[in-house]
Amino acid sequence: MKLVNPANKRKYEVIIVGTGLAGAAAAATLGELGYRVKCFTYHDSARRAHSISAQGGINAAKNYQGDGDSVLRLFYDTVKGGDFRSREANVHRLAELSVNIIDQAVAQGVPFAREYGGLLANRSFGGAQVSRTFYARGQTGQQLLLGCYQALQRQVALGTVTLYTRHEMMDLVVVDGVARGIVTRNLTTGKVESHAGHAVVLATGGYSNVFFLSTNAKACNVTATWRAAKRGAGFANPCFTQIHPTCIPSAGEYQSKLTLMSESLRNDGRIWVPKKQGDTRAAGDIPEDDRDYYLERFYPSFGNLSPRDISSRRAKEMVDGGHGVGPLRNGVFLDFRHAIERLGADTIAERYGNLFQMYEEITGENPYKVPMRIYPAPHYTMGGLWVDYDLMSNVPGLFVLGEANFSDHGANRLGASALMQGLADGYFIAPLTVGHYLADVPRTPVSIDHPAFADAEREVKARTARLLAVNGSKTVDQFHIELGRLVWEKCGMTRDAAGLKEALAKIPDIRERFWKEVRVPGSSTNLNQSLEKAGRLADFLEFAEIMCWDALERDESCGAHYRSEHTHLDGEAKRNDDEFSFVSVWEHKGEGQDPVLHKEPLAFESVKPATRSYK
Amino acid sequence: MNLTLHVWRQEGPTSTGRFETYQARSVSEHASFLEMLDLVNEGLTRSGKEPIAFEHDCREGICGSCGMVINGVPHGPSARIATCQLHMRLFKDGDVIWIEPWRATAFPIIKDLVVDRSALDRIINAGGYISVRTGSAQDANAIPIRKQDADLAMDAAVCIGCGACVAACPNASAMLFTAAKVSHLGLLPQGQPERYTRVVDMIAQHDREGFGTCTNHGACQEACPKGISVDFIARLNRDLLVASWKAAEPKAARMGGHG
């Protein structure tokens, strides 16, 4: 690993897009090291990034419980949880760094839950048989993000980081094959601006909002990573999208997003459906003998703590089989009755109080009295821009961190691992690997004089003008809902070749109608939320295609990617290691052209790929 | 249900604003308040008008983006929730609803219901952190913290930075916001070295931003979606008093001496 002389660090400018865990941690640390950092967020404040919504916790191989945890075990669980589709070396590094993250967060004042002796408390999470999850009530993401945010704001005050709030990245600028800057739009004034840097770091999150309804915040989008892909960065495993098993079921047509109920609830809640199809009795009227605790039945070892992909699919199977509960028969029960009897309502309130409160506000039902109703929802995307071990994409100088990259979770992410990865990337990996890259980059100042900047600005402005000029009759959301439904049905929890081909035929048609019929009111010179939404949707309408291409080409089932043609007799995903033990990397070839698939073979030296079993 | 909305519309920071009246029809009681506004906005867009600008993102009460004064009350009639968690079952058919942005000198209006809350970030910049370099931390369990202290710190740390406390305060003071951060960090052993300079610097910035002073109305606590207690303001005042006894160190010395 090469180093940059401390006196030379200030001669390098680093652009960071996104202020979630990965972006804020990287910006704070790179600024602290002495680089000149420019950090961008489309929010009004760095504290609002979607990392803040993570509820349950963060994994670390501290083995504070003395229950047999180790770096090796966390590494193994993560590789297995990802159904052997992640890169071993990256995951091992992640497991090693997990312990440093907890130390760092505690030193910053993150108020993790503690035991009466004053030491840190842990809880269990899906896909693991040790208790290694650190948490701050049901607001772990919030507390970790505020730790990063405070570290970032400290650097802003010290002048090492310049923070641009309400600025959205609209394009990546590549000069002579090297990432040299970005074009942004000031969301308050509409001004399109260029920013140059010696390196560009994207930490812009995932693309679950391609489904329209997901647990992601409303503004989450694929624009930054998709724009980079259009400028030459490979997009890896776009079809690996995680459907979270414990969300509140949709209540009606007006639904704008889905709300997650932390997976940690499965520590004490038991999942069941009525044994009888179409049973309309209230939960309390269904006797024990008429209940099917199906996860405990299918997976006696892991039971209600089975991994997310498996738990989600089984829930869908139950609902599709006529066992759904609730007014729309679109959920399964998550029942705390036994836990309340065993531990008392106070203990349950201490563990999950804010989640129970949130559930009651949304549904009007009291989960201390009646079981929660849950159903799977799009939640996280394991796919993202391809990166090497240094988290650099195939475009030199372009680094990608956190959910925006593809590297650590394979085909399925385990609970409490997203926070771990975002912080490992941001605090501990990128600050060193960016320096390693910069050590070979000339220290001459960068400027926005190169014509590539002017070209990119012109394209951004033309696109904005075009969106405003369509003046059709349909709203942006109408198209987003149409796209979302199609992708959810054909490239959601289960997929097959016929459905994916159908989606690939229909997406260009939606896109074409969008550009002819959408109506974006207002102007481009002030705050215009319709215009922001329209630009993001335009990118989803392009991106959705490579997601379906990837799902079609990966003719096997693995983790969250479940092709109904490839299943074991018991319904579990059937992997095909002989043909598909690789990372799919998609190269954009231009408008109207089919993307090209490249393959990075996966070699497993420490962990032997085996059939994933949680029975 | 059908509702009549009077909504504050203002094109830009320097324009003159006014209330405009809209009808929200066939609203489901299960919809959220923001989903009701989505519906109104879809209608406005289809008829070629500009939709109502309002901030929102996570829609589950944690990001702190949303916030509007609903019938005179920040975040609306239900206690301890953000606007996005407000559900229409609390309203009834025929209700008239007045919707306004946060109103405070330190929060200039950007458009309609969207205000500029960057003053809160600048209060954090002034000292709302623990100065710890990445990678220099010792083992997390090397600092035992009494559970009661950790829990109390968490009670303060849950602040989502929405600004409802400011909107509710007759003096437009951000004292509850500031006190929450001062208390969160000041309750923990890691926060002790900077405890007294932090409170002095954050209060100085608070005042520079044009927030009013605290005169113990307690409206902030009622409006806070996270139920943060005004007790933390008392804690802040105690720290401020102690700080006035201690000679405040010069800022350069606190920054580590090689800046």
**Chain A hits for B190, Cβ within 8 Å:** 106-109
Give the C-alpha separation, A46 to A313, whole Å.
36
Query: How far, in Å, CA of A16 to CA of A192, rounded?
Result: 17
Which of B160, B167, B168, B177 minimizes the C-alpha distance to B232?
B177
Q: What is the pLDDT of residue A138?
A: 84
Same domain flag for B138 and B95: no
Residues B221 and B185 occupy one common structural domain: yes
- Structural domain harbouring B229: 118-254
Indicate yes or no: CB of A52 within 8 angstroms of CB of B62. Answer: yes
H helix runs in B113-255, sequence order: 118-125, 147-157, 164-168, 175-186, 195-208, 219-223, 231-245, 251-254
| CA atoms of A77 and B58, how far apart (whole Å) | 30
Do B129 and B60 share a structural domain?
no
Rg of chain B taking only CA atoms, in angstroms: 21
What total of structural domains would you count in chain B?
2
Q: Which CATH number do you get for residue B9?
A: 3.10.20.30
Specify the 3-state DSSP secondary structure of A120: strand
Encoded tokens for A12 = 């390098």
- How many CB pairs lie under 8 A apart between chains A and B? 215
A308 annotated active-site = yes
Query: Do B85 and B128 sit in the same domain of this protein?
Result: no
**Burial class of residue B171, CB neighbours in 10 A (0-12, 13-18, 19+):** middle
- Regarding whether B84 and B162 lie in a shared domain, the answer is no
Q: Do A260 and B185 touch (CB under 8 A)?
A: no
Evaluated on CA atoms A208, A551, A237, A231, the torsion sign reads negative
- Decide if B10 contacts B16 (C-beta within 8 A): yes
Of B120, B125, B134, the CB nearest to A156: B125
- State yes or no: pLDDT of B259 exceeds 50: no
Looking at B84, B111, B138, the residue that finishes a domain is B111
pLDDT, residue A575, reads 96
- Structure-token pair, residue B26: 């066939």
- Select the CATH number that applies to the domain covering A244-378 from these four: 3.50.50.60, 3.90.700.10, 3.40.50.720, 3.30.70.920: 3.90.700.10
pLDDT tens figures, B95-152: 999 999 999 999 999 999 999 999 999 999 999 999 999 999 999 999 999 999 999 9
Determine the Cα–Cα distance for residues B166 and B196; give it in Å rounded to an integer.
24
CATH code for the domain of B244: 1.10.1060.10
Distance from CA of A33 to the nearest CA of B (A): 9
What count of other Cβ atoms lies within 10 Å of the Cβ of residue A469? 8
DSSP B159: -
C-alpha span between A59 and A40 (Å, rounded): 28
Strand partners, A181: A173, A196
SS3 per residue for A45-104: CHHHCHHHHCCCCEECCCCCCCCCCCHHHHHHHHHHHCCCCCCHHHHHHHHHHHHHHHHH
Residue given tokens 């696109």 in the structure block = A463
Domain ranges of chain A: 244-378, 451-580
User: Quick one: CA dihedral A120, A124, A126, A130, positive or negative?
Assistant: positive
pLDDT confidence bin for B258, thresholds 50/70/90: very low
Q: Which of B96, B111, B126 is the last residue of a domain?
A: B111
Write down the residue that tokens 């990063």 correspond to.
Answer: A148
Question: Is B257 exposed, middle or buried, given 0-12, 13-18 or 19+ CB atoms closer than 10 A?
Answer: exposed
Provide the 8-state DSSP code for A260. B
What are the structure tokens assigned to A599, written together?
Answer: 């393959």
Is A109 in contact with B150 (Cβ distance < 8 A)? no
Q: Mind giving me the DSSP string for B10-55?
A: -SSTTSPPEEEEEEE-S--TTSBHHHHHHHHHHHHHHTTPPPPP--
Question: What pLDDT is stored for residue A571 in this prediction?
Answer: 82
> How high is the pLDDT of residue A5?
95
Helices (H) and strands (E) in chain A, counts: 17, 19
Could you tell me which residues come within 8 angstroms of residue A102 by beta carbon, excluding any fewer than 6 positions away? A58, A60, A62, A112, A120, A134, B140
Q: Are residues B243 and B143 in the same domain?
A: yes
- pLDDT tens for B196-208 read 999 999 999 999 9
A10 touches chain B (CB under 8 A): no
In a domain, B233, yes or no: yes
Is B259 domain-assigned? Answer: no
The neighbouring-strand residues paired with B252 are none
Whether the predicted interface score ipTM is above 0.85: yes
- Is residue B249 scored above 70 in pLDDT? no
* pLDDT higher than threshold 70 for residue B252: no
**Do A451-580 and A244-378 have the same topology in CATH?**
no
Closest CA to A143 of A430, A419, A424: A419
Joined together, the tokens standing for residue A177 give 């094959």
Q: Which of A308, A373, A495, A511 is catalytic?
A: A308
- Sheet containing strand A178-186, edge to edge, reads A167-175, A178-186, A192-196
Do the chains contact at A142 and B87, CB–CB below 8 Å?
A: no
| 133-172 in chain B: CB under 8 A from chain A | 133-141, 143-147, 150-151, 153-154, 157-158, 160-161
Same domain, B76 and B184: no
Cβ atoms < 10 Å from Cβ of A317: 16
**Domain's final residue, options B111, B142, B163:** B111
Decide which of 1.20.58.100, 3.90.45.10, 3.40.190.10, 3.40.50.170 is the CATH code for A451-580. 1.20.58.100
Q: What averages of pLDDT result for each successive group of 10 residues across chain A (615 residues)?
A: 96 98 98 98 98 94 97 96 96 98 98 97 87 93 98 98 98 98 98 98 98 97 98 98 94 90 89 96 95 96 90 94 94 96 93 87 93 96 98 98 97 95 98 98 95 98 98 97 97 97 98 98 96 98 98 97 93 93 97 94 94 82
Interface probe for A, chosen from B34, B36, B41, B45 (most Cβ of A below 10 Å), is B45
Domain match, B67 and B167 both = no
DSSP B52-69: PP---SSSSSSS-----E
